[in-house]
Amino acid sequence: MSLGMYHQPVLKNRRTLLERAEKFISDIYFTDCNLRGRLHGESCPVEKLESFLSPKRIPFTEAIKQNFAPHKAGESFGPTWSTCWFRVALNVPSSWSSKEVHLLWESDGEALVWRDGQPVQGLTKEGEKTSYVISESLQEDEPHSLLLYIEVACNGLFGAGQGSMIAAPDPKRMFSVQKAELIVFHRNVQELLTDFEMMVDIVKELGDEDQRSFQALYTVNEMVNLCDPSDPGTFPRARSLATAFFNQRNGQSQHTAHAIGHCHIDSAWLWPYEETIRKCGRSWATVVRLMEKNPTFVFTCSQAQQFQWVKSWYPGLFSEIQQFVKKGQFIPVGGTWVEMDGNLPSGESMVRQFLEGQRFFNQEFGIYCKEFWLPDTFGYSAQLPQIMQGSGISNFLTQKLSWNLVNTFPHNTFFWEGLDGSKVLTHFPPGNSYEMKGKVEDLTKTVKNNKDKGRANHSAVLFGFGDGGGGPTQLMLDRLRRVQDTDGLPRVRMSTPDALFSALRSESELLCTWSGELFLELHNGTYTTEAQIKRGNRECESLLHDVEVASSLAACRDESFAYPAEKLRELWRLLLLNQFHDVIPGSCIELVVEDALRYYEDIRNSGSRLLKNALSALGSGGSSPAVFNSLPWERHEVIRVHREGDSVLALVQVPSVGLALVRPAEPLTPVSVTPQADGTVLMENGILRSVVNKDGTLASLCLVTSGREALLDGHKGNQFVLFDDVPLYWDAWDVMDYHLQTRKPVVEVVQAAHVLSSDPLRATVRFSLRVSEKTTITQDIVLDAMCPYLKFNTQVVWEESHKFLKVEFPVRVHSPSATYEIQFGHLQRPTHRNTSWDWARFEVWGHKWADLSEHNFGVALLNDCKYGHSVFKNTMTLSLLRAPKAPDAHADMGSHQFTYAIMPHAGSFQESSVIQCAYNMNCPLRPLQCSPQTGPWRTFSVSSAAVVLETIKQAEEQSRTLVLRLYESHGSTVTATICTSLPVKEAWHCDLLERRDQSRPAQLTTQGIRLQFEPFQIVSLLLVLR
Ligand SMILES: [Zn+2]
């Protein structure tokens, strides 16, 4: 190539030539004589700077009514989480005509500029945004005087961690505005600086084995020779050298990088929910400004909740966004309400994430998202592919598995096959980031790291500051524009997720398939951290389930009963919000935990009221005690009922999805509890026989009919164990493999096991243990008549630092794999540590139960609010409490209450109703009052035990129509008949968004609705009632 005349001589000293070019654009060295030093021209102070400090986050209209006082740059304000509003009067010197004029604003708090009552741009030093453009070329007739408001939040992009990013926030941090002045901005210097930066980076990134790197080296060196920083007349020649280099094209086979603007905003993390609303305002206002100047700029944005926030807080900005959505530049993605945790939400919760998300995107923008977008969560359930497909989504983008600590995930582009065989096209951007900066390094990494070379020739490059918001900058766009087709670098195309996935799908013949869950080998402490949040989630999932079932039935029975659709939507959205991927995992600051617990309290209060309304409609104003069963099978249980001011135990039999009066009934076999001479206590109910040691451990647990002992010889069940729990960095997130070496049984008995109560219906044995000076455990071991499991109602006063409490059951079962409940199904994980893939799963997640079975016998461990499990060889372990100190310094301190249960069983867990028992433990029978003539009645029953009727709700905006959601829970192919007492006119299959499939009416027979199921299949029906 001919790049013009070179200055001579050029020695073969790569290092000095490269560093010379670097120093020429350095913002630290030689700025007195280098190019960087020429970026800004004249400056002038702002005319007037005034401020007003607000402890609360207040709207603009309220802020501007306050009394503003004079403020000097450099003065401090704060503390953390307050807001300083600035009124800034500007007067641009008339001598600056035809110059580019910026307001230079450097502050350590995140700022938002308001102009004429509208948010116009975010300013954050950390996010490389310190300039607000007043004019690109100042004209005579433009206003030279201007009044701006600048809202400065007293927090940085990443909150206000004391000492380190994830440390608990420093509540006393003070902030300041270091610079507030008008400057003349030299755009020609900026453009040349960007050329230089890209050339220098090409030299460095391609390295000394690549001839292209040397071509860049000599070109950039000559650019330095040609350019005199003090003489802008020399710039064009330097620029044309760079342009000629950038325009040397690639061959046809080059990889394509699909550059997509992005701004990952955690809905709450190191800052509270309320601050996220403002992060959205700041980041998206900036994006809209960039779109005005760059018509090809495309930006993707997930989380319907954040759009909803912006809609209600910044309606002006929201309507600008709607315009850019129409133009195809601002692209809503993901289809969910928030970017939720991928492990812990229940199956129905995950469906609701998509239902609420997709419905919102459709209502506001007239679109349904085609891709699920979850770059930053801590593992992905094996049921997600089916849930995505059911929500109109067949593409998936994430990257978090690049964080695996042990094994490198083998693909970047592949088909992900879920539990039921559903497949989605999946892409992990090979750059392993969702916040690239459009730099050369991002592009070369994308090609080098791609593990599907030769199979997939397209990748995503997501650029823009993220996590704490911020988003793309003009500089990132300028970088990418220069190298759209530059020999040696991937081809760069400003693109959309749709274009990316279409390109990948059209060349997908060689792609591999990964079957089953995407397990993240890191952050495994998040199944346990912040136990109250986990408990709130589980309880509220079960409460909203019951409210929907009871309200659906009440609306069917009583025309005057109004189904509380709006209130339910509001409560669901709160629950879904708390499932955000730093809230339900417990990886957030204390302020967020407080908000989350308050939301759960709101759901509990309002949900209980709704349930009461529905149940009293069902009871039709009677006064005899009755119970309601929301689950699709008959239940026979001991419950506590209130009768004439007394609380008494009763054995009740309640039909499936129905109710029955409480009638005195005798158990076939009464429960007995007998203290033994050796200090142990024997508990029996005709199904189980257990011996409780003085220290609360189980010496024996026997299935009475077969005489089979469930516990391993010479071992004790219900053994509490304490571990040291000091991770490498991510405190709330991580439990490391080495913690297993620090196991210490809890042995100090405060109060030995003794009979607390003895009734033919229920026996309770209580004991308490001391874990440490301040931490104690008090437990009631409860055996109910006719109940196949032994319950452990547990109270812990927990005051620890970096400890992990678990409970162990070493069982007499030998099996290479254990089974764990997940969303709408279950899966197996190994109980051995053969390979690195096996031992990396030393701590795993599961929902209501885990089971270890051999042929014809097994033991299940049930729980009412825990998610962390492990089974190694014969020992089943449930994770109970952790004590991390960052980012919440008080995580999990205080008292806790939870229940787990052990259930030995003959046959398989499917045959012995483990799944049903776990549901029963999580969905208590609900008391109500009926007239004494009420016969037991049921509304639904299912002919196959394999099929669970999970959800009964009113269809969205369709009157007299119910949605039923069922799933196959055993892993079998079955036909099931749904029998109902409701007057069904028509039944239709529908998708998870409740869109009727006109080609698939459900088969109505005299027995009911006949349905076919394949293993773990989810089926949704619309029942149109007469
Ligand atoms: Zn995140």
If residue 1011 lies in a helix (H) or strand (E), which one and from where to where? strand 1009-1013
CA of 580 to the centre of ligand 1 (A): 9
626 Cα distance to chain centroid: 39
Q: Residue 1 — pLDDT band, cuts 50, 70, 90?
A: very low
Counting DSSP H helices and E strands in the chain, the numbers are 18, 56
Q: Is 262 a residue whose pLDDT tops 60?
A: yes
CA of 307 to the centre of ligand 1 (A): 17
Q: How far apart are CA 973 and CA 567, in angstroms?
A: 38
Phi, psi of 296 (to 5 degrees): -95, -5
Q: How far apart are CA 413 and CA 396, in angstroms?
A: 10
* Residue partners of 707: CB distance under 8 A and separation at least 6: none
CA of 398 to the centre of ligand 1 (A): 11
Q: What is the mean pLDDT of residues 306-332?
A: 98
pLDDT digits (tens, 9 = 90+) for 836-852: 999 999 999 999 999 99
Q: How far apart are CA 34 and CA 27, in angstroms?
A: 9
- Strands 371-373 and 413-417, by their bridges, are unpaired
CA of 701 to the centre of ligand 1 (A): 45
* Dihedral sign from CA coordinates of 878, 881, 883, 886: positive
Which range (1-15, 546-560, 649-663) has the least confidence?
1-15
Q: What is the mean pLDDT of residues 510-535?
A: 98
Confirm whether pTM is higher than 0.95: yes
Q: What percent of the chain has pLDDT over 70?
A: 100
pLDDT confidence of residue 775: 98
CA of 109 to the centre of ligand 1 (A): 21
374 Cα distance to chain centroid: 8
Q: How far apart are CA 80 and CA 640, in angstroms?
A: 49
* Dihedral sign from CA coordinates of 69, 70, 73, 76: negative
Q: Respond yes or no: is residue 376 known to be catalytic.
A: yes
Q: Is 423 a residue whose pLDDT tops 50?
A: yes
CA of 90 to the centre of ligand 1 (A): 38
CA of 465 to the centre of ligand 1 (A): 12
Q: What is the mean pLDDT of residues 894-912?
A: 98
- Which class for 341: exposed (0-12), middle (13-18), buried (19 or more C-beta within 10 A)? buried
Mean pLDDT rounded to a whole number for the chain: 96
pLDDT digits (tens, 9 = 90+) for 590-648: 999 999 999 999 999 999 999 999 999 998 878 899 999 999 999 999 999 887 778 89
CA of 185 to the centre of ligand 1 (A): 35
Contact 518, 421 (CB under 8 A): no
- Give the amino acid at 430: P
pLDDT confidence of residue 4: 53
CA of 403 to the centre of ligand 1 (A): 13
- Strands 256-262 and 299-301, by their bridges, are parallel
Contact 614, 561 (CB under 8 A): yes
Structure tokens at 6: 């070179």
Q: Residue 957 — pLDDT band, cuts 50, 70, 90?
A: confident
Q: How far apart are CA 60 and CA 149, in angstroms?
A: 9
**126 versus 572: which is more confidently predicted?**
572
Structure tokens at 750: 């405060």
pLDDT digits (tens, 9 = 90+) for 817-837: 999 999 999 999 999 999 999
CA of 590 to the centre of ligand 1 (A): 17
Q: What is the mean pLDDT of residues 52-80?
A: 97
- Strands 256-262 and 719-724, by their bridges, are unpaired
- Give the amino acid at 870: S
909 Cα distance to chain centroid: 31
DSSP conformation class of 333 = -
CA of 375 to the centre of ligand 1 (A): 8
Q: Is 9 a residue whose pLDDT tops 80?
A: no
Q: Residue 666 — pLDDT band, cuts 50, 70, 90?
A: confident
Contact 278, 470 (CB under 8 A): no
CA of 172 to the centre of ligand 1 (A): 26
CA of 341 to the centre of ligand 1 (A): 10
CA of 582 to the centre of ligand 1 (A): 7
CA of 266 to the centre of ligand 1 (A): 5
pLDDT confidence of residue 668: 83
pLDDT digits (tens, 9 = 90+) for 446-494: 999 999 999 999 999 999 999 999 999 999 999 999 999 999 999 999 9
Q: Residue 5 — pLDDT band, cuts 50, 70, 90?
A: low
Q: What is the mean pLDDT of residues 261-287?
A: 98
Out of 195, 201, 376, 452, which one is annotated catalytic? 376
